[in-house]
Homo-oligomer: A and B are copies of this chain.
Amino acid sequence: MTHNNPPFPSADHDHKHCVSHALKNAEAYCQQQGLRLTKLRHQVLELIWANHQPVGAYELLDQLTHEGRKAAPPTVYRALDFLMENGLVHRISSRNAYVGCSHAGHDHTAQFLICESCGQVAELDNAQIGSVIAKGANQLGFTVAQWTLEISGTCDQCKHRSQDE
């Protein structure tokens, strides 16, 4: 299965829909895998998607609190750990921030395009990149366990926006 959606959502896309879509996927996936997507974890995952761009843990903590839940840092970090272990969320380590995974359930490692102008992140799943990396590493006798690729730059929309000014 491949995703042909433009990786950076258009400005007027139906964001509510994409959030609920991601949540439904996650629910189905956890169901199928016998994972406990508890209320807290569900809530954190929803917040992450709702933010629509990488969110910090303490930002999530604030948002949880505003939603009326008593929460401390471990509350958030434990939920994040669960979500990351199960491929529902990725950490953008160059930003200490977290994003929902667009291909949850697939076996994949993460590749991100991070727009410096709008702050949005798009997740790639480019097989060619993966295979070139594997090849390069294997040539050196290195066995790859996992990897992260974080690409900063400017997305298409922001380029056009800046031309309009």
Contacts and interface: CB of A to CB of B under 8 A. Distances in A.
Interface of A: 6-8, 93-94, 111, 113, 115-116, 122, 124, 126, 128-129, 132-133, 136-137, 140-156, 159
Given A137-B151, A140-B156, 6 more contacts: A124-B140, A129-B129, A129-B136, A147-B149, A147-B151, A148-B149
A92 to B, nearest CB: 9
Contacts of A154: 142-143, 145
Contacts of A149: 133, 147-149
Contact of A124 (B129, B136, B155, B156): B136
Nearest to A112: B147
Contacts of A136: 111, 124, 126, 128-129
A153 B145 contact: yes
Contacts of A155: 141-142
A113 B93 contact: no
Contacts of A159: 141, 143
A36 B5 CA distance: 49
Given A129-B136, A132-B129, A142 B147 contact: no
Given A93-B93, A132-B132, A7 B140 contact: yes
A44 to B, nearest CB: 22
Nearest to A148: B150
A127 to B, nearest CB: 10
A10 to B, nearest CB: 12
